[in-house]
Amino acid sequence: MIKIAIILGSTRPGRKGEVISRWVHDIAKRRGDAEYELVDIADYDLPLFDEPMSPLMGQYTKPHTIAWSEKIDSFDGYVFVAAEYNHSMSGALKNAIDFLYREWNNKAAGFVSYGGGYGGIRAVEQLRLVLSEVKIAHVRPQVGISLHTDFENYSEFKPGPHQEPALHAMLDDVVAWSGAMKTLRSGTEVAD
């Protein structure tokens, strides 16, 4: 079965990403089309990139990098739950991506972003650029959660009725693309 990580990409205390990630995970695991796991980058306590060699080499020396590598390598695709900070993704998420290279290659990703006025879409614009460099194929459909309209009083998460269908559309593509990319990674050819 396809394995998809739902990556919580903020480490800030009080982050809204926790409730959003749990919402994504709860809906995703009911689908039955893949195995979904919530992965919180805060659990890996990654410092600013501190490996002596480029991730391109895959010669990791730090226990935190090795643990992160093993976790990320175990998945076929990803859903990044990304906060928008200053028109971009969080520094913690960028750093977590930068720790690895081969583990990300030839896999698929989708996005659930959140933020002020535009639901974090500018974070996804930046994230798409970064993920292209580590050879992740990213799907077009995405979910943009607004702190203004999808949270009551900026505290209680109450996603609008359009959000769940948008999430399913994105997950449909992530699962399909992850399966196709798994075939690519295995080196087998698909018959017409």
Q: Does the global pTM surpass 0.85?
A: yes
Structural domains present in the chain:
3-186 (3.40.50.360)
The pLDDT profile of the chain, 192 residues, written as one tens digit per residue, is 999 999 999 999 999 999 999 999 999 999 999 999 999 999 999 999 999 999 999 999 999 999 999 999 999 999 999 999 999 999 999 999 999 999 999 999 999 999 987 899 999 999 999 999 999 999 999 999 999 999 999 899 999 999 999 999 999 999 999 999 999 998 754 443
SS3 string of the chain?
CCEEEEEECCCCCCCCHHHHHHHHHHHHHHHCCCEEEEEEHHHHCCCCCCCCCCHHHCCCCCHHHHHHHHHHHCCCEEEEEEECECCECCHHHHHHHHCCCHHHCCEEEEEEEEECCCCCHHHHHHHHHHHHHCCEEEEEEEEEEECCCCEECCCEECCCCCHHHHHHHHHHHHHHHHHHHHHHHHCCCCCC
